[in-house]
């Protein structure tokens, strides 16, 4: 009598037997997305370093199921921005954000020129608005990143308010806005003082 029991085969082996033409594609996709909750995250390579400056976060702002969160930090040089973004998006929660918009404004130490950069991150015009916020506040050597988790409900023009609100809050928590405001006030007082006769 013939045995109907087959030796144990993995799902990848069974898939190869059933679908020989599709199996390499499906197995690769399947194995890439499957991750055990008990496996450790990949170790940082020797060239990865932590961000040297404090990162200030805003409160989570919720509006019709969408959540906005901003982060602000010091950025001494525009060439360091990719490292900052890599460090910030190292968090799994921020990596899952639907939109990640940013703006930075730095002053080149050698040429004293202002270097700016921005990205909309899928929210058209948001990078320009963040950059305008930095320019109007006269902030230098600062980066602000706003993340949005889309909740399924379109916000219309209210999304701009939430993006700006989160960015302002992160900048205020880092004392970027207050520090410049104090400098501006002291400069204004010294130039406006007149001698009374």
pLDDT in tens, 61-105: 888 888 899 999 888 888 888 888 888 888 787 788 888 888 998
Buried b (16+ CB within 10 A) or exposed e, 107-143: eeeeeeeebeebbbbebeebbebbbebbeebebbbbb
pLDDT at site 34: 37
Tokens at 20, concatenated: 């020989």
Query: Which residues, in sequence order, are CB contacts of 177 under 8 Å at separation 6+?
Result: 137, 139, 168, 171
Residue 193 lies in a domain: no
Residue 88 lies in a domain: yes
Does residue 35 belong to any structural domain of this protein? no
CA angle, residues 105, 107, 111, in degrees to nearest 5: 145
User: How does the average pLDDT of the chain come out, rounded?
Assistant: 71
Q: Rounded to the nearest 10 degrees, what angle do helices 158-173 and 126-136 cross at?
A: 40
Query: Is 190 part of a structural domain of the chain?
Result: no
pLDDT at 22 over 50: no
Average pLDDT over every residue of 161-182? 78
Q: How far apart are the first and last CA of the chain?
A: 121
pLDDT of the residue at 180:
46
- Is 92 within a domain? yes
For residue 166, pLDDT beyond 50: yes
Q: What CATH number is associated with residue 89?
A: 3.30.230.30
Q: Which domain holds residue 142?
A: 55-175
In the block, residue with structure tokens 């205020």: 172
Question: Does residue 2 sit within a domain?
Answer: no
Asked if residue 185 is part of any domain, the answer here is: no
Within-domain flag for 63: yes
pLDDT, position 51: 77
The number of domains in the chain is: 1
Backbone angles phi and psi of 110, in degrees to 5: -80, -45
pLDDT at 25 over 80: no
């Amino acid at each position: 009598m013939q045995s109907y029991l087959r030796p144990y085969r993995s799902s990848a082996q069974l898939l190869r037997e059933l679908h020989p033409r599709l199996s390499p594609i499906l197995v690769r996709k399947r194995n890439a997305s499957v991750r055990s909750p008990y496996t450790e995250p990949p170790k940082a390579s020797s060239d990865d370093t932590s961000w040297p400056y404090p990162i200030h976060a805003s409160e989570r702002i919720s509006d019709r199921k969408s959540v906005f969160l901003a982060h602000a930090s010091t950025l001494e040089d525009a060439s360091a921005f990719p490292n900052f973004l890599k460090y910030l998006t190292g968090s799994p929660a921020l990596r899952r954000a639907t939109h990640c918009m940013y703006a930075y404004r730095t002053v080149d130490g050698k040429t004293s020129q202002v270097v700016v950069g921005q990205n909309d991150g899928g929210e058209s015009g948001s990078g320009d608005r963040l950059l305008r916020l930095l320019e109007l506040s006269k902030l230098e050597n600062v980066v602000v990143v706003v993340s949005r988790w889309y909740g399924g409900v379109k916000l219309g023009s209210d999304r701009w308010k939430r993006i700006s609100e989160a960015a302002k809050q992160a900048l205020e928590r880092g004392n970027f806005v207050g520090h410049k405001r104090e400098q501006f006030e002291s400069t204004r007082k010294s130039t406006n003082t007149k001698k009374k006769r």
